[in-house]
């Protein structure tokens, strides 16, 4: 064989080796997360209240097959999947009733918690049924709780998650702004009430983001994903006051698949 042919053969083999390495490639982050167990913790924003198609064994927790945890596991097939998020959950009830499924082999955890600690449902009831002054006072009281008592409650929950799942990637998701200001709504809450509620959502997300960062967790906001799909936007991914009443102010199926799922997926 000539020197030229030997060199050509070496080059061909080298290129084939490079191509093979490229085809094998490193596993993606989602692949790595799926290799272990995935646990979905949290409140109604993680269980999927408002998204319909509830699992028959979930009862009043209303865990939906349209919720972002269920959608993610269906697409990624983790080694195990524990979906324990529950409507009405607070940081303390997540800690006391949901963490038992975590283990050292858990590789991925998602959680939403904090809205119920500050009386989210009561605030919205005050705003819908009472005066503007009562609404804004209720919102301000919730903001005070966000700044004063919620941080310690989040720290306690996050410490519990880390203790039980020391190797897991933990993704903490936030809450959307509810209203597009100066939007298409011609009735209902005043613009001042909508502004106060949106500002409270921002404070809540800021507190959760800071506490999750201090815990070494990943915070993923959903505000950008829901922008253009708030109430009064003309294409809302959130229910307004609805029947059944538990749907009110929760994401629709489109909010889970178009809002929460991309926010979660981008963090994994």
The Cα–Cα gap between 15 and 44 comes to 53
Averaged pLDDT of the chain? 91
Q: What is the mean pLDDT of residues 234-243?
A: 95
70/156 same-domain check: yes
User: Could you say which DSSP state residue 246 is in?
Assistant: G
pLDDT for the residue 82: 98
180/256 same-domain check: yes
Q: Give the domain CATH number at 179.
A: 3.40.50.1110
199/154 same-domain check: yes
User: Could you say which DSSP state residue 107 is in?
Assistant: E
Q: Is 44 a catalytic residue?
A: yes
117/236 same-domain check: yes
Q: Is 10 exposed, middle or buried (0-12, 13-18, 19+ CB in 10 A)?
A: exposed
Higher-scoring residue by pLDDT: 198, 2: 198
213/136 same-domain check: yes
Q: What is the mean pLDDT of residues 67-73?
A: 98
Domain that holds residue 8: 1-27
18/40 same-domain check: no
CB 21 within 8 A of CB 35: no
**What digits encode the pLDDT tens for the residues 51-65?**
999 999 999 999 999
Number of domains in the chain: 2
22/69 same-domain check: no
What number of other Cβ atoms are within 10 A of residue 259's Cβ?
25
pLDDT at 151 over 60: yes
pLDDT for the residue 13: 42
**What digits encode the pLDDT tens for the residues 80-137?**
999 999 999 999 999 999 999 999 999 999 999 999 999 999 999 999 999 999 999 9
**What digits encode the pLDDT tens for the residues 2-51?**
444 444 444 444 444 334 434 444 556 677 777 789 999 999 999 999 99
CB within 8 Å of 153: residues ≥ 6 apart: 90, 91, 92, 114, 117
75/117 same-domain check: yes
Residue among 220, 229, 239, 250 flagged as catalytic: 250
90/13 same-domain check: no
What are the angstrom distances between the C-alpha of 252 and each of 31, 75, 194? 28, 20, 20
The Cα–Cα gap between 112 and 110 comes to 7
90/51 same-domain check: yes
Residue among 2, 28, 44, 103 flagged as catalytic: 44
Q: Is 96 a catalytic residue?
A: no
98/187 same-domain check: yes
pLDDT for the residue 31: 76
What's the whole-model pTM score? 0.88
16/140 same-domain check: no
């Amino acid at each position: 064989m000539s020197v030229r042919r030997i060199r050509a053969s070496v080059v061909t083999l080298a290129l084939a080796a490079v191509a093979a390495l490229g085809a094998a490639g490193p596993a993606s982050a989602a692949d790595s997360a799926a290799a272990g167990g995935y646990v979905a913790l949290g409140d109604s924003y993680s269980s999927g209240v408002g998204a319909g198609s509830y699992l028959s064994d979930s009862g009043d927790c209303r865990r939906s097959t349209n919720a972002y945890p269920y959608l993610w596991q269906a697409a990624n097939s983790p080694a195990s999947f524990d979906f324990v998020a529950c409507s009405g959950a607070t940081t303390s009830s997540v800690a006391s009733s949901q963490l038992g499924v975590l283990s050292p082999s858990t590789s991925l955890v998602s959680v939403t918690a904090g809205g119920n600690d500050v009386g989210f449902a009561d605030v919205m009831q005050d705003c819908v049924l009472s005066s503007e002054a009562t609404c804004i006072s209720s919102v301000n009281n919730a903001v005070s709780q966000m700044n004063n008592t919620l941080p310690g409650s989040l720290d306690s929950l996050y410490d519990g998650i880390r203790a039980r799942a020391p190797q897991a990637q933990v993704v903490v998701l936030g809450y959307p702004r509810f209203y597009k200001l100066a939007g298409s709504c011609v009735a209902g809450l005043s613009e001042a009430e909508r502004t106060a509620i949106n500002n409270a959502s921002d404070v809540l997300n800021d507190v959760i983001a800071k506490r999750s960062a201090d815990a070494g967790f990943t915070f993923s906001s959903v505000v950008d994903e829901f922008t253009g799909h708030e109430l009064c936007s003309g294409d809302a991914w959130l229910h307004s006051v609805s029947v059944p009443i538990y749907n009110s102010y929760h994401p629709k199926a489109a909010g889970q698949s178009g809002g929460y799922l991309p926010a979660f997926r981008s963090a994994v």
